[in-house]
Amino acid sequence: MPLDPSFAGRTYPPTTTYEVSRAKIAEFADAIGDDNPLYRDPEAAKSAGYPDVIAPPTFLTIINLTSINAIVADPELGLDYSRMVHGDQRFTHHRPVHAGDVLRLTTHIDSVFARAGNDFLNVRADVETTAGEPVCTTHAQLVVRGE
């Protein structure tokens, strides 16, 4: 069954926060094979002008996935997860993520449309600190294969 285009414009407010730690940043950097000292060495990060170690640019995938899953699990949307693939992902960073940040996400469905028998959802997440400072805007496209 096709996805309902009236879901475009729907917003999913933050339900939790995520505290960024040095350990999580190091784990992520290890997982992607990046040995940049700014991701592990607080003194190197401070020398570069950051308050603490910073995260690799794609680190926010960790918490962005949670927001995408909230949309996918919305029973009103009726998305068949077994038919879904991740079509695209982009990040617009307003500043680097660093250890000690406490982040929250507000997720939006920007558009829902069909093309060539497949449904497409364009999803945006606004990532900010709990103090309201913008950190990043993520964009993802989800594709639900037709039958």
Least confidently predicted of 42-46, 66-70, 131-135 = 66-70
Residues of the chain by 3-state class (helix, strand, coil), percent to 5 = 25, 35, 40
Spatial distance between the Cα atoms of 84 and 27, rounded to a whole number of angstroms: 28
User: Tell me: the pLDDT tens digits for 73-122?
Assistant: 888 888 888 889 988 999 999 999 999 999 999 999 999 999 998 999 99
Spatial distance between the Cα atoms of 43 and 54, rounded to a whole number of angstroms: 11
Residue keyed to tokens 């949307």: 77
Output the pLDDT for position 44.
98
Q: Which domains are present in the chain?
A: 5-145 (3.10.129.10)
Output the pLDDT for position 1.
62
Query: Which residues are bridge partners to 125 per DSSP?
Result: 107, 138
pTM of the complete model: 0.89
- Tally DSSP H helices, then E strands, for the chain: 3, 6
The residue among 51, 5, 46, 55 whose CA lies nearest residue 25 is 55
